[in-house]
Homo-oligomer: A and B are copies of this chain.
C-alpha cells in the first residue's frame, strides 16, 4: 500500500513542478528538472540530513515515475488546462503524505521529537521551496503562507510524533498526522486562513 501512495505523491509533486515553469521560458529539460526537484527534493534533503541513503538512489522507479509524469504533463498542458480544484486537493494529499512519511522516518532513526517534526516539515515542504528558488522566486510557502501550507505540515507532524510518544500503533500515528495535515490544509484553502505577516519597525542591518 505505501509504495502506491508514495508514487501517487511523487506524480503530484512532479505535476506541480511542471506548472511552476509557466511563463518562465523554460524548455523540456528545465521542466523535467523542476518536476524532479519538486517531487524528490524534500525527501532528498531529509535523507541527507538524517545521513541515510537517499531514497531514490535505491529504487529507480521514483526517478522514472517523476520524469514520465513531467514529459506527459509538458505536452498535456499545451492541449488543455488542468482543473485547479483537483490539483489543489491532490497537492494537499501529497503534502500530508510526504509530511507523515518524513516524520515516521525520523522516528524510525530514533531522532528526538523536535527533530522528527522538523524532518516531517522538510519532507513535505522543501521540494516546493527548491522549485521556487530555481525559478527565481521567493518561495511561495514563505509568502502569505498560501493558506496554512507549512503550518498544516507542522501540526500534522506534531500530532504524528505525539501519537507515537503515547505508543499507539504506528498506523494510528501515521493516520492521525496524515488526516490533520490534509484537513487543516483543505480548511485553510476553503476559508482562506493564513498566518500573521512580518511587519517590523524599520531597522537597517547591512552592510
Contacts and interface: CB of A to CB of B under 8 A. Distances in A.
A18 B64 CA distance: 35
A119 B125 CA distance: 24
B204 A115 contact: no
A115 to B, nearest CB: 5
A198 B31 contact: yes
Given A51-B53, A195-B27, A201 B137 contact: no
A84 interface: yes
A115 B63 contact: yes
Contact of A138 (B24, B56, B197): B24
Contact of A49 (B21, B54, B114): B54
Interface stretch (A2-10, A96-104, A141-149): A141-149
A149 B87 CA distance: 32
Contact of A28 (B57, B77, B195): B195
Given A141-B29, A201-B81, A44 B54 contact: no
Interface of A: 16, 18-19, 21-22, 24-31, 33-34, 44, 48-51, 53-54, 56-57, 60, 63-64, 74, 77-82, 84, 87-88, 91, 111-115, 118, 129, 133-147, 150-151, 154, 194-207
5 contacts: A25-B197, A81-B201, A84-B203, A87-B203, A144-B207
